Amino acid sequence: MNSTIAMITFRAMLGRKRALLLFVLPFIMLVLAIGLKVTGYADLDVSSNVLHRFGLSTLLPLLALIAGTGVIGPEIDDGQVMYVLTKPIPRQVIIFTKLVVAIVLIVLFAVVPTLLAGLIMSGTTAQVTPALTVGVLLGGIAYAAVFVALGVISRNAVTIGLIYVLVWEILLGNFAPGAKSASIQQWSLSVADKLTEASQIKSTVDLPIAVLLLVVITAAGTALATVRLRSLSVASAE
Amino acid sequence: MTTSTIHDIGYRHYDGRRLGRAYVLRSQYVHNLRAAFGLGRPARAKVMPFLLSAVMLLPAAASVAILGFTKEPNALIRYAAYAYTMQVVVAIFLATQAPVIASRELRFHSVPLYFSRPVGHLDFVLAKFGAFVTALFILLAVPVTLLYVGALVTRPDKMKPVMEVVEGENGEMVTGRVQKPDSLVEHTLHYFGGLAGCLLFALVLAAIGLVIAAFTTRRGLGVAAVIAVYMISSTIVVIVQGIAETEANNFTVSGWAGLFSPFNLVDIVQVRLLGAQLTAPAAPSGVVGGLAALAVCAALVAGSIAVLYRRFRKAGLS
């Protein structure tokens, strides 16, 4: 963990109007939650549906994509990463720092808003809110590791991440149950499923497998990012 | 600027033919259309647009193949439903290619170079908009055309008015032409309805995508912003529609909510004004609903061109 790198990354992510998108997305979810609470439709069904569909399967992947690829992708693109790589800082420290920054951003803009939206809509009824918050947190860590690795590997990291989230998790998930079970979203849903007694949250994956896969994918993402950063070739800007 | 100018710095005069505004407009249009598919750019810029175009074609090709080898009576996908069914792929194309058209000159501050030449601000924006609409239309219309041609080739008997022996007025048997329900004329009308829908999809999506991309010039951020608008709007609309239908039993609200998600919006126009079947979850009833949706589409397109015009004119000053 290197505090200077962390500070520079935070400044790049939150500086000026770049952060607007990060603020707007959770804000929309909170507005939706308040709207549902005020109109009186926020029962357990609706609440878990909103937290699942909006919090876990829309807001989380989007934010993880922006934060995960954003902490390292642009620096590699414009060559600024050289100023970091030429300092005597181990590559794993750089990756770990970037990962921590991405996770902090995800916690701030996806996990906390999910918790707030859940508390606004249904309080802690049937533990749905805390369960999904933990699910979003664990999913967020795994997504962050995968997207940071993507950001190091490819210049089209955002597009590839998008294809994974939209085509693999959503499109194929609807047609092929196999693809659905092999997704970060289902694994984090499995954790949430275990933590709540509400029947609205159901996952197709067993808890031990899900936790194991989450840990493996996080470790693999971090390791891959470190290895690729060791042999990074800095191309000129497009 | 209506007349072309040649920069005469006093060394050598030019008195050849002068290519006018139409030439400038056409060049910009062609350049942007090529850029939308990565033509004239390195191979890695071609990967995504062509991959996505190929994915768009897959279901149509599969449907034609099934028509050819089985007794399946109709194509698997309706023309008007194609864009809606494949909306994820269309959205990814929109998100990856809109920044190519709208962000690149802004990111590298090269807009003033265009406007130091006789290129009109509005022409510049219209060329970009037209080129991206064309690109999206190609993406959507080619698979639909493949479905149509496939149906013509594999089911020619269903496309022709069938000759049948019918009883004449005086009891004698005559040969008459009987229009089967799925005759060529009707089929072709459906096809053209589908194409009109594709054009409207292209217009609305280009309007949304280009405006967002023009304001998020950082690499990667534009892609994420366009897809965020698509995902958030469609998720909220589906959630609101679900609540309106199951909790409140209010199908009016659920229909009108469809106006707020781009794919649902165009599907409403297709259903209410072009006579297609409903693909989206809900649509407001009657021609009024269709006209309202069409008005929203028109406002989106006009608003988008106005915003892009201001954006690029301002960027051209620096």
With helix as H, strand as E and coil as C, how does chain A read? CCHHHHHHHHHHHHCHHHHHHHHHHHHHHHHHHHHHHHHCCCCHHHHHHHHHHHHHHHHHHHHHHHHHHHCCHHHHHCCCHHHHHCCCCCHHHHHHHHHHHHHHHHHHHHHHHHHHHHHHHHCCHHHHHHHHHHHHHHHHHHHHHHHHHHHHHCCCHHHHHHHHHHHHHHHHHHHCHHHHHCCHHHHHHHHHHHHCCCCCCCCCCCHHHHHHHHHHHHHHHHHHHHHHHHCCCCCCCC
> pLDDT value at position A234?
64
Q: In chain A, whose CA is at the least distance from the CA of B229?
A: A25
Min Cα distance A161 → chain B (Å) is 10
A7: pLDDT strictly greater than 90: yes
User: Quick check: B220 contacting A, CB < 8 Å?
Assistant: yes
Q: In chain B, whose CA is at the least distance from the CA of A164?
A: B92
Largest interatomic CA distance in chain B: 93
B210: pLDDT strictly greater than 90: yes
> pLDDT value at position B303?
97
> pLDDT value at position B160?
53
Place of tokens 């950001």: A151
Of A21, A46, A170, the CB nearest to B247: A46
ipTM over 0.90: no
CB-CB neighbors (< 8 A) of B242 in chain A: 49
- The pTM (predicted TM-score) of the whole model is 0.88
**Token digits for B246?**
């199951």
Could you tell me the pLDDT band of residue A193, with boundaries at 50, 70 and 90?
confident
Q: What is the mean pLDDT of chain B?
A: 86
Of A41, A58, A73, the CB nearest to B220: A73
Place of tokens 């690109």: B135
Spatial contact of B255 and B283, defined as CB atoms under 8 Å apart: yes
In degrees, rounded to 5, the angle at the alpha carbon of residue A103 between the alpha carbons of residues A101 and A109 is 100
Taking the CB of residue A76, how many other CB atoms lie within 10 A of it? Answer: 21
Q: What does the pLDDT average to over A150-164?
A: 89
Lowest mean pLDDT among A12-21, B48-57, B245-254: A12-21
Q: What does the pLDDT average to over B195-216?
A: 95
> pLDDT value at position B158?
62
Q: What does the pLDDT average to over B112-136?
A: 92
> pLDDT value at position B225?
92
Query: Does A62 contact B231 at a Cβ distance shorter than 8 Å?
Result: yes
Distance set, CA B238 to CA A25, A50, A210, A238 (Å): 17, 10, 28, 39
Q: What does the pLDDT average to over B4-33?
A: 82
pLDDT in tens, B147-170: 999 888 887 766 555 455 555 556
Min Cα distance B167 → chain A (Å) is 51
Could you tell me the pLDDT band of residue A183, with boundaries at 50, 70 and 90?
confident
Interface probe with B: pick from A50, A158, A236, most Cβ of B within 10 Å: A158
Min Cα distance A137 → chain B (Å) is 20
Of B90, B96, B81, B13, the C-alpha closest to B47 is B96
Query: Does B224 contact A62 at a Cβ distance shorter than 8 Å?
Result: yes
Domain segments of chain A as ranges: 3-231
Taking the C-alpha atoms of residue A70 and residue B208, their distance in angstroms, rounded to an integer, is 23
Choice between B241 and B166, residue whose per-residue pLDDT is larger? B241
Query: Does A41 contact B247 at a Cβ distance shorter than 8 Å?
Result: yes
Strand partners, B176: B164
Spatial contact of B224 and A65, defined as CB atoms under 8 Å apart: yes
Query: Does A166 contact B220 at a Cβ distance shorter than 8 Å?
Result: no
A205: pLDDT strictly greater than 80: yes
Taking the C-alpha atoms of residue A52 and residue A58, their distance in angstroms, rounded to an integer, is 9
User: Quick check: B316 contacting A, CB < 8 Å?
Assistant: no
> pLDDT value at position A5?
92
Chains A and B form CB pairs within 8 A to the count of 83
**Token digits for B123?**
């022409």
Taking the C-alpha atoms of residue B201 and residue B198, their distance in angstroms, rounded to an integer, is 5
Q: List all residues of chain B from 22 to 81 with a beta carbon under 8 Å from chain A.
A: 44, 47-48
pLDDT in tens, A69-98: 989 988 888 888 888 888 899 999 999 999
Strand partners, B173: B167
Phi, psi of B77 (to 5 degrees): -120, 135
> pLDDT value at position B1?
42
pLDDT > 90 fraction of chain B, expressed in percent and rounded: 49
> pLDDT value at position B117?
79
Distance set, CA B143 to CA A22, A58, B148, B190 (Å): 36, 29, 9, 14
* Cα-trace Rg, chain A: 18
> pLDDT value at position B127?
96
> pLDDT value at position B177?
53
> pLDDT value at position B171?
56
B14: pLDDT strictly greater than 80: no
Choice between B118 and B81, residue whose per-residue pLDDT is larger? B81
A18: pLDDT strictly greater than 70: no
Could you tell me the pLDDT band of residue A237, with boundaries at 50, 70 and 90?
very low
Min Cα distance B143 → chain A (Å) is 19
Of B289, B261, B250, the C-alpha closest to B273 is B289
Q: In chain A, whose CA is at the least distance from the CA of B248?
A: A41
End-to-end CA separation in angstroms for chain B: 20
> pLDDT value at position A43?
81
Q: What is the mean pLDDT of chain A?
A: 87
> pLDDT value at position B6?
61
Taking the C-alpha atoms of residue B100 and residue B44, their distance in angstroms, rounded to an integer, is 13
Q: What does the pLDDT average to over B181-188?
A: 74
Amino acid at A30: L
Q: What does the pLDDT average to over B163-182?
A: 54
Per DSSP, the three-state class of B173 is strand
Of B221, B243, B247, the CB nearest to A18: B221
> pLDDT value at position B39?
93
Could you tell me the pLDDT band of residue B317, with boundaries at 50, 70 and 90?
confident
Phi, psi of A192 (to 5 degrees): -60, -40
Choice between B163 and A143, residue whose per-residue pLDDT is larger? A143
**Token digits for B151?**
């149906």
Q: List all residues of chain B from 224 to 243 with a beta carbon under 8 Å from chain A.
A: 224-225, 227-228, 231-232, 235-236, 238-239, 242-243
Amino acid at A212: L
A62: pLDDT strictly greater than 50: yes
Q: What does the pLDDT average to over B65-75?
A: 77
Choice between B169 and B314, residue whose per-residue pLDDT is larger? B314
Of A46, A155, A163, the CB nearest to B92: A163
B12: pLDDT strictly greater than 90: no
Per DSSP, the three-state class of B283 is coil
A208: pLDDT strictly greater than 60: yes
Of A32, A58, A73, the CB nearest to B231: A58
A228: pLDDT strictly greater than 60: yes
Q: In chain A, whose CA is at the least distance from the CA of B217?
A: A18
> pLDDT value at position B166?
52
Q: In chain B, whose CA is at the least distance from the CA of A159?
A: B96
